[in-house]
Amino acid sequence: MRKSWWKILCTVLLLYTLVGGLLLDVPHKKILNETIRNIYFHVPLWFGMMILFTCSVIYAIKYLRKPDLTNDIYATAFATTGTVYGVLGLITGAIWAKYTWGKPWSNDIKQLGAAMALLIYAAFFVLRNSITDIDKRARVGAVYNIFAFAMLFPALWIVPRLVESLHPGGAGNPGADPRDMDARMRIIFWLGAVPGFTLLGVWITTLIIRLRLIADKNLLHV
C-alpha cells in the first residue's frame, strides 16, 4: 500500500480528468467549440513525453558515469514510453487540427518539432539494434541519447518562438496564451490531466523495466 499510493492517485486523477473533462462546463468559443476539451488529453501527452525523455536522458548520463546495464534498461524503457506518448500526442493533435485548422497536418512548426522528436527516437532504436555487443550498444545508445536530447530541446523550445505558429502562445496568435486558460479548465488541466498522464507514463515504464530486468536476469548478475 505504501508503495502503490501513486498508482491509486494516478487512477483517481485520470478518472477525474476523463469524467470532468468530458462532462464539466467549458467556455464556448468560436471554431474551437467542444473540441476545447481535447486540451486535457493532447497537451498532457506532450508534457508527459518531455518528462519521460528527460528521465531517459538522466539514466543515459548515469550509465556513462557508472556503466551498469540496469541504467541502460531504465533509459531505454523511458524512451519507449516517451515515444508512445509522442505518437499519441501527434494523433490527438491531428484529430484536433482536422476540426479546427481544417486539415490534420499543416506544417506548423510545433508539428514539425514533434515529428522530429519521434524520428530522432526512432533512429535511437535503429542505432541500438544495429549494434550486437550489449555493453557497446548501451554506451553508444547513451551517447546518442544525450547528444540528440541536447540538440532537440533547444530547437523545441526556442525555434517555435522565432517563427509563426498556428498553435496558441506562439508569435502567430499570442492572444491565446496558455496562461489565459479558463479558471475551471485550469483546475482539471493542472491538477488532473498533467500529473495523471505523467504518472501513467511512469507506471507503464516501471512495468517495462520490471519485465526487462527479469528477461535480462542472467546478464545483470554476472
Partner 1 sequence: MNASKHIFTLLKKDLLLELRQQYTFYGVLLYIASTVFVLYLSIQQPDSNIWNGLFWMIQLFICVNAVAKSFLQESRGRMLYFYSVSGPVQFIIAKLIYNAIIMLLMSLVSLLLFNIMLGSPVIRFGQFVAIVCLGSVSLSLVFTMLAAIAAKAQQQASLMAIMGFPIIIPQLLLLMRVSKAGLGEAFKGEALSDMMWLLGGLDVLVILMAIILFPFLWKD
- If the CB atoms of residues 61 and 208 are measured against partner 1, the closer one turns out to be 61
CA nearest 213: which of 77, 84, 107? 77
Least distance (Å) between residue 148 CB and partner 1: 6
Q: CB of 28: closest distance to partner 1 in angstroms?
A: 35
Looking at beta carbons only, is 91 or 151 nearer to partner 1? 151
Min dist CB 187 to partner 1, Å, is 35
User: Of 131 and 181, which CB lies nearer to partner 1 in the complex structure?
Assistant: 131
Pick 75 or 185: Cβ nearer partner 1: 75
Tell me whether residue 33 or residue 106 sits nearer to partner 1 (CB atom).
106
Q: Residue 119 or 215: which CB sits closer to partner 1?
A: 119
Q: How far is the CB of 104 from partner 1 (least distance, A)?
A: 20
Cβ count within 10 A of residue 70: 16
C-alpha cell at 208: 517495462
DSSP state letter for 4: T
- What string of DSSP letters covers 111-179? HHHHHHHHHHHHHHHHHHHH--SHHHHHHHHHHHHHHHHHHHHHHHHHHHHHS--SSTTSSS-GGG-GG
CA atoms within 13 A on the CB side of 222: 6
Alpha-carbon gap, residue 99 to 12, rounded angstroms: 30
Binding site residues, partner 1, CB under 8 A: 64, 112-113, 116-117, 119-120, 123, 126-127, 130-131, 136, 139-140, 142-144, 146-148, 150-152, 154-155, 158-159, 162-163
**Shortest distance (Å) from residue 40 CB to partner 1:** 29
Contact in structure between 17 and 196 (CB atoms under 8 Å):
yes
16 with 192: CB under 8 angstroms? yes
Nearest distance from C-beta of residue 207 to partner 1, angstroms: 28
